[in-house]
């Protein structure tokens, strides 16, 4: 195991679904060099097919005995979605290309079959008991990473100082065993470079004391970043002390280091149109995603909200409120990091 482990907590009760994180990551890392189709960070509407399409049913991870499960490599066109360009030249005619009468309208030069946010805001449930929530996803920098286990070259490793999982770009040969093995489908094959790439937890930023782009640039202020052994940091307190941050699909066996505060939801209506006190997101769905402690965590959240409302103190609410943006990230000063 690495000496320390960086982790992220994502509060789904504050997520706006705005995709600023997705775009922050895109311009930071994936708008070039064969990575255009990749979304190292994505936000999907849940329930939904997700990104890549049906990733949750694509295999990978470990079975009960700790052996790798079979996994599927998603298709670029149909599962990730090809990154289209637009027909600006022919549609707008600024380059003098347009002919009268048959000027096309502005649209993708290639018709997309899927995309990273294809089922945005579609959700489920019968109106008015419709429901959905936003699920941001990135590489989980797992403590038992299936990608590491699957790589025949041992070209994927966990950094001992922070537990960030990296694909060695000088040694990867693009076999894609890692792509299939990752149950979250967060390793991507770079067709231009012939090797696999994925979220690097913005380690070059982290090394300078700056939080990953998706976290620091989140206007909803939903992401906390810090070391799990830093007991005073918000991450450790949310994960270990208050135990309100849960792993996504822990049953995949990879021990993710991205945690989620599960979502509350407004109450349903009964058949007569009267309001009930039953949350509209089905509990069994949340349990499938975040495990058996979901009911307990939701109850904790409600209890602590009530405490805060009635003027009592609540450390949990104070952390989640995040009074100071910079305090959401406890990475240590760059100089301090170098010593570790």
Partner 1 sequence: MLNRRKFLKVSGVCGAGLALPGGAMAGALHVDDPLRAYPSREWEEQYRKELAATRGDSEGFAFHCSNCQGNCAWRTGAQGGMIVREEQLAQYPQINPDIPDANPRGCNKGIIHSQAMYEKDRLLYPLKRAGKRGEGKWERVTWDRALEEIAAKVVEVIQKHGPGGLMIHAGTGILSQGKRAGPLRLGSLLGAIRLYPSSAVGDMFTGASVAYGVPNVGHSLDAWFEMDYILLWGINPSVTRIPDAHYLWEGRYRGARIVTIAPDYNPTSIHADMWVPVNPGTDSLLAMSLVNAAFEDKLYKEDFIKEQTDLPFLVRKDTGLLLRESDLRKDGSGDVFYFWDKKTNSLAEAPGSKGSKRDTLRLGGADPALEGTFTAQTRNGKVQVTTVFELARREAAKFSPEDTAERTGVPPAMARRIAREFAAAKKAGLTIGFSLHKYAWGILACWAQALFCALTGHAADTGGLDTESQWSLGGIGPLSNPKPARFASGFLSEWIAGGMDDSLKKHYGDKEFKARAGLDADALIKLSRESREKKWLAHYGEPKARIIFADNFFRRNKSAKNFKDTVLAATELLVAVNFRMDTSAESADYALPSFAHYEGWDIRGEVGYHRFANLVVPPPGLRPVGEAKSEWEICRLLAEKIEAAAKAGGVAKIPDPEFSVTVDGAQTAVTRDMDTLGADFTMGGRIATDKDVTRWLVENDPAFQPWKFEDAAARGFITLNREAGLTSPLYASKPYHSFEEQVYLRRPYPTLSGRQQFYVDHPLFLKLGAAVPTAREPLHPSRFPLKFYSPHTRWGIHSTWRTNKYMLRMQRGEPHVLLNASDAAKRGVSDGARIRVFNDVGEFFALAKIGAGVRPGSLVMEHAWEPHQFKGRAGLNSVVAGLLSPLELAGGWGHLKFGPEWDGNQLALESSVEVALAQASAGDT
Length of the chain: 340
Q: Which residue, chain included where needed, has tokens 């009592």?
A: 312
**The one among 232, 274, 292, 339 contacting partner 1 by CB under 8 A:** 274
User: Do the beta carbons of residue 89 and residue 97 sit within 8 Å?
Assistant: yes
Q: Which residue number, 138 or 151, has a Cβ lying nearer to partner 1?
A: 151
Q: Which residue number, 292 or 333, has a Cβ lying nearer to partner 1?
A: 333
**The one among 232, 273, 284, 292 contacting partner 1 by CB under 8 A:** 273
Q: Which stretch binds partner 1 (CB under 8 A): 98-106, 225-233, 238-246, 284-292?
A: 98-106
Among residue numbers 118 through 157, which ones bind partner 1 (CB under 8 A)?
Answer: 118, 120-128, 130-134, 145, 148, 150-157
Among residue numbers 41 through 80, which ones bind partner 1 (CB under 8 A)?
Answer: 59, 67-77, 79-80
**The one among 4, 141, 185, 221 contacting partner 1 by CB under 8 A:** 221
Q: Which residue, chain included where needed, has tokens 């202020």?
A: 221
Is residue 285 a contact residue for partner 1 (CB under 8 A)? no
Q: What is the 3-state secondary structure (H, E, C) of 294-335?
A: HHHHHHHHHHHHHHHHCCCCCHHHHHHHCCCHHHHEECCCHH
Q: Which stretch binds partner 1 (CB under 8 A): 91-99, 226-234, 241-249, 284-292?
A: 91-99
Q: How far is the CB of 243 from partner 1 (least distance, A)?
A: 17
Q: Which residue number, 244 or 292, has a Cβ lying nearer to partner 1?
A: 244
Could you tell me the two tokens for 338?
Answer: 């170098």
Sign for the CA dihedral angle at 149, 150, 154, 160 comes to: negative
Q: Which residue number, 287 or 322, has a Cβ lying nearer to partner 1?
A: 322
**Integer angstrom CA distances of residue 279 from 31, 137, 157, 308:** 39, 24, 42, 21
Residues 6+ apart with CB under 8 A from 30: 36, 38, 39, 40
Looking at the DSSP bridge assignments, the partners of residue 124 are 131
What mask of x and - would describe binding to partner 1 in positions 179 to 218, judged by CB under 8 A?
Answer: xxx-------xxxx-x-----x-xxxx-x-----x--xxx
């Amino acid at each position: 195991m690495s000496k320390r482990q960086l982790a992220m907590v994502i509060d789904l009760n504050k997520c706006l679904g705005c995709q600023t994180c997705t775009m922050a990551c895109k311009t930071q890392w994936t708008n070039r060099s064969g990575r255009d189709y990749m979304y190292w960070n994505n936000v999907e509407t849940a329930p939904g097919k997700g990104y890549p399409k049906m990733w949750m049913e694509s295999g990978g991870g470990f079975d009960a005995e700790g052996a790798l499960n079979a996994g599927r490599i998603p298709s670029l066109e149909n599962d990730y979605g090809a990154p289209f360009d637009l027909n600006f030249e022919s549609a707008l005619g600024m380059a003098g290309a347009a002919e009268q009468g048959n000027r096309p309208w502005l649209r993708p030069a290639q018709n997309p079959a899927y995309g990273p946010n294809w089922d945005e805001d579609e959700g489920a449930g019968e109106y008015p008991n419709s429901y959905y929530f936003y699920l941001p996803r990135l590489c989980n920098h797992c403590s038992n990473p299936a990608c590491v286990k699957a790589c025949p070259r041992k070209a994927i490793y966990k950094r001992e100082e922070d537990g960030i999982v990296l694909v060695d770009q000088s040694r990867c040969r693009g076999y894609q065993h890692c792509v299939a093995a990752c149950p979250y489908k967060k390793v991507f094959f770079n067709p231009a470079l012939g090797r696999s790439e994925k979220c690097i937890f913005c380690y070059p930023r982290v090394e300078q004391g700056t939080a990953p782009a998706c976290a620091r640039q989140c206007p909803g202020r939903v992401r906390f970043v810090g070391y799990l052994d830093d007991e005073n940091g918000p991450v450790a307190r949310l994960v270990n002390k208050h135990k309100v941050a849960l792993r996504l699909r822990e049953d995949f066996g990879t021990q993710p280091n991205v945690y989620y505060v599960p979502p509350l939801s407004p109450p349903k209506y009964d058949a007569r149109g009267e309001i009930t006190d039953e949350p509209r997101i089905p509990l069994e769905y949340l349990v499938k995603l975040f495990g058996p402690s979901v009911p307990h965590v939701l109850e904790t959240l409600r209890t602590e909200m009530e405490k805060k409302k009635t003027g009592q103190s609540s450390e949990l609410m104070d952390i989640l409120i995040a009074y100071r943006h910079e305090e959401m990230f406890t990475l240590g000063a760059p100089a301090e990091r170098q010593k570790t």
